[in-house]
Amino acid sequence: MSSLRIVPCVVWLALAACSRVSDHVLLLPGPDGRVGALSVAAAGGEILLSEPYSGVDVRGGMPRRLTSSPRMVRDAYGRLLDLQPARPRVYVVHFETGTTILTPESRSKLPMIRDQLASLPAPEAIVIGHTDRVGSSEANDRLSLRRAEAGREQLIQAGVAPAAISVVGRGEREPVVFTEDGVAEPRNRRVEIKLR
């Protein structure tokens, strides 16, 4: 019996044709081309996958390294890949320091986001607010949630049903740019809007 152990990774996808998923594993790149890592352990050993299109086949408890290519994956699993749900579209808007006021550049993105929403048959949105590391973590938690709620209001004005919008504030926990405490970093003062 083989076991599958996952190490932190950016993107991985396990595919199986007519076998159990734990018997055949391929590591595919994400839409941005990046790939994480995956460790496959079985009774007969362990193989770490960290290159795109690398894989492992486990037979009788023995893992065996596989190599593949984009064309081979498309030929073997094209129909399965085509059945995946569409990836969410992600937009990022930024805010002025300590406020829920969008920067001028971010305000200019709103028509594009509204157009994208209009093209979706049943839009759903996840709005995630973030802050930089200026201020206390408690104040940043509150500010990030207020920013997410401001993003939600923009989506409602664009015609998205309020029930289709989830809102969360992450405070200073997930920065785009890591900084010391108290550093004002404009790229961290953001809201991520994920549409699907």
In this prediction, residue 121 carries a pLDDT of: 81
Q: Distance between CA atoms of 86 and 7, rounded to whole angstroms?
A: 25
Question: Which of 58-62, 81-85, 131-135, 159-163 shows the highest mean pLDDT?
Answer: 131-135
In this prediction, residue 192 carries a pLDDT of: 95
Q: Where along the chain do its domains lie?
A: 3-82, 89-195
Q: Which of 9-18, 25-34, 172-181 has the lowest mean pLDDT?
A: 9-18
pTM of the shown model: 0.63
CB 15 within 8 A of CB 27: no
Q: Distance between CA atoms of 75 and 107, rounded to whole angstroms?
A: 43
Q: For the segment 116-147, what is each residue's pLDDT rounded down to a tens digit?
A: 877 888 888 899 999 999 999 999 999 999 99
Mean pLDDT, residues 4-32: 54
User: What's the half-sphere exposure (Cβ side, CA atoms, 13 Å) at 102?
Assistant: 17
Secondary structure in 3-state letters for 123-144:
CCEEEEECCCCCCCHHHHHHHH
pLDDT bracket for residue 22 (50, 70, 90): low
Q: For the segment 71-114, what is each residue's pLDDT rounded down to a tens digit?
A: 999 998 899 888 887 788 899 999 888 888 888 998 888 888 88
The fold for domain 89-195 equals 60s Ribosomal Protein L30; Chain: A; (3.30.1330)
Query: Quick one: 121 exposed, middle or buried, by C-beta within 10 A (0-12, 13-18, 19+)?
Result: exposed
